[in-house]
Structure 1
Amino acid sequence: MLLQPWSIALLSLTLVCPTSAKIDRKSIVRQFNPKLNSSHPYSPIQVGNGNFAFGTDITGLQTFIPHNTLSSWGWHNSSLPTTVNQTSPADFTGLEWWTHDRLVPYAQPNPAQKEISPWMIANPHRINLARIGLWWGGRNVSEEMLQQRSQTLDLWEGSISSFFLLNGNRVEITTVVSPDSDTVAVEIKSQMVWKGELGVFFDFPYASGKNKFDAPYVGVWNVTGNHSTVLRERENGAEIRHTLDATSYITDITWESEGAKMERLNNKTHRYVLKPAQAGNWLSFTATFAPELAKNVDNFDAIKAKTAKWWTEYWETGAFISLPPANSSAKELQRRIVLSQYLLAVNGAGKDPAQESGLVNNGWYGKFHMEMVFWHLAHWTLWNKWTLYDRSIGVYDRFLSTSFERAQKQGYQGARFGKMSDPTGRSAPGEINSLLIWQQPHPMYFAEMEWRKYPTEKTLKKWDHILTGAADFMVSYAWFNESTKVYDLGPPMYPVSENTNPNQTINPTFELAYWRFGLNVAEQWQLRQNKSVPSNWRFVKENLAPFPVENEVYVTYEGVKDMWTTPTLAEDHPGLLGIYGWLPPDSRMNLTTFKKTIEKVYQSWNFTYSYGWDFPLLAMTAARLGDAERAVHWLLDPNNQFDEIGMPIGGTRVPTPYFPASAGLLLAVGMMAGGWDGLEGPVFPKTWGIEVEGFSKAM
Structure 2
Amino acid sequence: MRPVVTTPSAGVPDNPYAAPAQGSVDRAALLLRHSPSVRRLDPRSPLQVGNGEFAFTADVTGLQTFPDAYPVTGSDGAVVGTLLGTMTQWAWHSVPFGAQSDDAAGTPLPTIDDCVRDYPSVRGPVPYVDLSYEQWGAPTSAPTVGEDWLRANPHRLDVGRVSLWCSQGIAVNELTDVDQHLDLASGVLTSRFRVRGVAFTVTTVVHPEHDELAVRVERRSEHGTAEAFGIELAFPYGSQSWGGSQDWESPHAHRTRVDAGNGSLVVVERVLDATTYHVVLRSQAALEPVSEHGLRLVATGDAIELVARFCRGSSAAASTSAAQPSHGVDEVIGASTRWWGRFWSSGAAISFDGTDDPRAAELERRIVLSQYLVAVNCAGSTPPAETGLVVNSWRGKFHLEMLWWHVACFPLWGRPELLERSMAWYPTILEAARATARRQGLRGARWPKQTDPSGAETPSSIGPFLVWQQPHPIYLAELLYRARPRRETLLRWAQVVRETADFMASYAWREPDGFHLPAPLVPAQESYARERAVTQDPTFELAYWAWAMRTAVTWCERLGEPAPDLWVDVAEHMAAPQTRNGIYPAVGVEPWTIRTDHPAVLGALGFVPDTGLVDPATMAATLADIAIGDESAWDWPSVWGWDFPLGAMTAARLGLADLAVDWLLADAPKNEHLPNGHSFQTAELPVYLPGNGGLLAAVALMAAGWDASPDRPTPGFPRSWAVAAEGFVRLP
C-alpha distance in 1 between matches for 2:555 and 2:21: 33
C-alpha distance in 2 between matches for 1:519 and 1:489: 13
C-alpha distance in 1 between matches for 2:26 and 2:95: 51
Identical counterparts, % of pairs: 35
CA contact (8 A) 1:675 1:682 kept: yes
Per-residue deviation, 1:561? 2.9
- Residue among 228, 235, 255 paired with 1:204: 235
C-alpha distance in 1 between matches for 2:20 and 2:455: 45
- Residue among 118, 125, 135 paired with 1:103: 125
C-alpha distance in 1 between matches for 2:381 and 2:522: 28
Per-residue deviation, 1:132? 0.7
Q: Are 1:63 and 2:31 counterparts? A: no
CA 1:171/1:455 → structure 2, altered by over 3 Å: closer, same or farther? closer
Q: Are 1:251 and 2:273 counterparts? A: no
User: Relative to structure 2, which stretch is displaced further, 393-402 or 431-440?
Assistant: 393-402
Give the letter for the 1:493 counterpart: L
C-alpha distance in 1 between matches for 2:547 and 2:112: 36
Q: Are 1:610 and 2:639 counterparts? A: yes
Query: Please, what TM-score do these two structures have when normalized by structure 2?
Result: 0.87
Give the letter for the 2:547 counterpart: F
CA RMSD of the aligned region, Å? 2.1
User: Relative to structure 2, which stretch is displaced further, 331-340 or 470-479?
Assistant: 470-479
1:255-294 to 2 correspondence within 5 Å?
A: 255=283, 257=284, 260-266=285-291, 269-277=292-300, 280-292=301-313, 293=318, 294=322
C-alpha distance in 2 between matches for 1:389 and 1:221: 35
CA contact (8 A) 2:115 2:459 kept: no
CA contact (8 A) 2:657 2:718 kept: yes
1:55-114 per-residue CA deviation (whole Å, 9 max, x = no partner) reads: 111110011125110110111011024666732536534211112252211111357993
CA contact (8 A) 2:585 2:592 kept: no
C-alpha distance in 2 between matches for 1:120 and 1:151: 41
CA contact (8 A) 2:112 2:150 kept: no
Q: Are 1:465 and 2:495 counterparts? A: yes
Aligned to 1:296: 324
Aligned to 2:727: 694
C-alpha distance in 2 between matches for 1:28 and 1:530: 44
- Residue among 267, 270, 289 paired with 1:242: 270
1:489-516 per-residue CA deviation (whole Å, 9 max, x = no partner) reads: 1211001101111122111111110111
SS at match of 1:554: coil
Q: Are 1:74 and 2:91 counterparts? A: yes
Per-residue deviation, 1:562? 6.2
CA 1:591/1:121 → structure 2, altered by over 3 Å: closer, same or farther? same
Aligned to 2:398: 368
CA contact (8 A) 1:95 1:110 kept: no
SS at match of 2:90: coil
Give the letter for the 1:661 counterpart: G
CA contact (8 A) 2:201 2:218 kept: yes
1:259-408 to 2 correspondence within 5 Å?
A: 260-266=285-291, 269-277=292-300, 280-292=301-313, 293=318, 294-298=322-326, 299-324=328-353, 327-408=357-438
Q: Are 1:600 and 2:625 counterparts? A: yes
Per-residue deviation, 1:660? 0.4
Give the letter for the 1:536 counterpart: L
Give the letter for the 1:225 counterpart: H
CA contact (8 A) 1:416 1:470 kept: yes
User: Relative to structure 2, which stretch is displaced further, 681-690 or 488-497?
Assistant: 681-690
User: Relative to structure 2, which stretch is displaced further, 508-517 or 116-125?
Assistant: 116-125
Aligned to 1:35: 37
Per-residue deviation, 1:161? 0.8
Give the letter for the 1:600 counterpart: D
C-alpha distance in 1 between matches for 2:578 and 2:200: 65
User: Relative to structure 2, which stretch is displaced further, 680-689 or 416-425?
Assistant: 680-689
C-alpha distance in 1 between matches for 2:566 and 2:409: 33
1:199-238 to 2 correspondence within 5 Å?
A: 199-209=230-240, 211-214=241-244, 218-234=245-261, 235-238=263-266
Aligned to 1:488: 516
SS at match of 2:323: coil
1:271-308 per-residue CA deviation (whole Å, 9 max, x = no partner) reads: 2111122xx32111111111142533211110011111
User: Relative to structure 2, which stretch is displaced further, 25-34 or 449-458?
Assistant: 449-458
SS at match of 1:151: strand
CA contact (8 A) 1:94 1:110 kept: no
C-alpha distance in 1 between matches for 2:381 and 2:353: 36
CA 1:145/1:403 → structure 2, altered by over 3 Å: closer, same or farther? same
SS at match of 2:680: coil
C-alpha distance in 1 between matches for 2:193 and 2:143: 55
CA 1:19/1:443 → structure 2, altered by over 3 Å: closer, same or farther? closer
**What is the number of residues matched between the two proteins?**
663
CA contact (8 A) 2:521 2:532 kept: yes
Aligned to 2:714: 682
CA contact (8 A) 2:288 2:295 kept: yes
1:471-529 per-residue CA deviation (whole Å, 9 max, x = no partner) reads: 22112212234xx5533212110011011111221111111101111111111222222
CA contact (8 A) 1:154 1:160 kept: yes
C-alpha distance in 2 between matches for 1:692 and 1:478: 40
User: Relative to structure 2, which stretch is displaced further, 681-690 or 353-362?
Assistant: 681-690
C-alpha distance in 2 between matches for 1:555 and 1:643: 34
SS at match of 1:431: coil
CA 1:536/1:18 → structure 2, altered by over 3 Å: closer, same or farther? closer
Give the letter for the 1:646 counterpart: G
CA 1:90/1:145 → structure 2, altered by over 3 Å: closer, same or farther? closer
Q: Are 1:498 and 2:526 counterparts? A: yes
C-alpha distance in 1 between matches for 2:560 and 2:192: 64
CA contact (8 A) 2:20 2:726 kept: no
Aligned to 2:471: 441
SS at match of 1:251: strand
1:596-636 per-residue CA deviation (whole Å, 9 max, x = no partner) reads: 21111116222222121100011111111112111111111
C-alpha distance in 1 between matches for 2:459 and 2:434: 17
SS at match of 1:582: coil
SS at match of 1:362: coil
Per-residue deviation, 1:174? 0.7
User: Relative to structure 2, which stretch is displaced further, 288-297 or 107-116?
Assistant: 107-116
CA 1:453/1:55 → structure 2, altered by over 3 Å: closer, same or farther? closer
Per-residue deviation, 1:429? 1.5
Give the letter for the 2:294 counterpart: R
User: Relative to structure 2, which stretch is displaced further, 461-470 or 369-378?
Assistant: 461-470
Aligned to 2:695: 665
- Residue among 192, 206, 228 paired with 1:177: 206
Aligned to 1:629: 658
SS at match of 2:526: coil
C-alpha distance in 1 between matches for 2:89 and 2:490: 29
Aligned to 1:649: 680
Per-residue deviation, 1:166? 2.3
Query: Please, what TM-score do these two structures have when normalized by structure 1?
Result: 0.91
CA contact (8 A) 1:650 1:657 kept: yes
C-alpha distance in 2 between matches for 1:609 and 1:60: 35
1:316-359 per-residue CA deviation (whole Å, 9 max, x = no partner) reads: 11000011266421000011001111111111111111110001
CA 1:101/1:426 → structure 2, altered by over 3 Å: closer, same or farther? closer
Structure 1 unmatched runs, 5+? 1-15, 564-568
Per-residue deviation, 1:213? 2.6
